[in-house]
Amino acid sequence: MASIIRDLLSEKLELHGAYQRFFSTHDGQVIMRHLMKVGHVTVPCACKDRDQALRNEGMQHLILSILTFAKKSSFEITKSITQTIGEKEYD
């Protein structure tokens, strides 16, 4: 179990570092602004088509998830993983 946690934590921290390095560059910021625009984070879409509205919500959720993950600290990620593992042990 400890090796699974260690591997999961290592993978998450590596991904987190990659996001932070990428989005701290000028190109990363340009791409994030574009994603926020097309993902309807900064430019909301008032569409009447229910299916399109659901797709827009999905894109918005994805972009906000990336932003949230990239802004977390390594400590927050570690804490989140250990809490999740701890909760599953008691299920």
Q: What's the confidence (pLDDT) of residue 87? A: 61
Report pLDDT digits (tens) over 36-90.
888 888 877 778 888 988 998 899 999 999 988 888 888 888 888 777 776 655 5
Q: What's the confidence (pLDDT) of residue 5? A: 76
Handedness of CA 53, 44, 17, 73 (dihedral sign): negative
pTM to 2 decimal places: 0.71
The 3-state secondary structure of the chain reads CHHHHHHHHHHHHHHHHHHHHHHCCHHHHHHHHHHHHHCCCCCCCCCCCHHHHHHHHHHHHHHHHHHHHHHCCHHHHHHHHHHHHHHHHCC
Domain edges within the chain: 2-73
Report pLDDT digits (tens) over 20-32.
999 999 999 999 9
Please tell me the distance from the alpha carbon of residue 58 to that of residue 73, in angstroms, as a whole number: 25
Of residues 3, 1, 14, 4, the one with CA closest to residue 77: 14
